[in-house]
Homo-oligomer: A and B are copies of this chain.
Amino acid sequence: MCAKLKTAVLGASGYSGLELTRILGRHPRLEKPVLLQREGSDGARDLAEVFPQLSGNGGYPMAGLCWSELKRQGVQLLFLATPHEASRSLVPQAIYQGLRVIDLSGAWRLKQAQHRAIYSFDDEDQANAGGLTEQAVYGLPELNGDCIMQAQLVANPGCYATSVILALAPLVSGEVIDREWGIISDSKSGVSGAGKAPSAHTHFVSVADNLSAYSVFTHRHVGEMVEQLGLSDGELTFTPHLLPIPRGILSTIYVRLTRAMQAAEVEMIYRDCYASKPWVWVFAPPKLPQVQYSLHSNFCDLGFCLAGDGRRLVLVSCLDNLLKGAAGQAVQNMNLMYGWDEREGLQ
A residues neighboring B (CB under 8 Å): 15, 26, 52-53, 55-57, 181-182, 184, 186, 188, 191-192, 196, 198-200, 202-214, 216-217, 234, 237, 239, 241, 243-248, 250, 252, 254, 279, 281, 283, 287-297, 299, 301, 305, 307-309, 312, 314, 316, 347
Given known contacts A192-B205, A205-B15, A213-B250, is B26 in contact with A293 (CB within 8 Å)? Answer: no
Please report the C-alpha to C-alpha distance between residue A182 and residue B212 in the assembled complex, in whole angstroms.
24
By Cβ-Cβ distance, the 8 closest A-B pairs, closest first, are: A198-B198, A212-B290, A56-B281, A186-B186, A216-B305, A53-B293, A210-B292, A191-B204
Please report the C-alpha to C-alpha distance between residue A128 and residue B204 in the assembled complex, in whole angstroms.
38
A307 touches B234 (CB 8 A): yes
Please report the C-alpha to C-alpha distance between residue A53 and residue B15 in the assembled complex, in whole angstroms.
23
Q: A182-B312, A296-B296 are in contact. List 9 more A-B contacts (CB 8 A).
A: A55-B293, A56-B299, A208-B208, A209-B247, A213-B305, A216-B288, A217-B308, A237-B314, A239-B314
Q: Which residues of chain B have C-beta atoms less than 8 A from A211's C-beta?
A: 188, 243, 245, 248, 250, 290-291
Q: Which residues of chain B have C-beta atoms less than 8 A from A186's C-beta?
A: 186, 252, 254
Q: What is the chain B residue whose CB lies nearest that of A184?
A: B254
Q: Which residues of chain B have C-beta atoms less than 8 A from A292's C-beta?
A: 53, 206, 209-210, 212
A56 touches B297 (CB 8 A): yes
Residue among B52, B53, B248, B347 making CB contact with A287, cutoff 8 Å: B52
Q: What is the chain B residue whose CB lies nearest that of A316?
A: B213
A244 touches B204 (CB 8 A): yes
Given known contacts A204-B208, A210-B290, A288-B213, is B297 in contact with A53 (CB within 8 Å)? Answer: yes
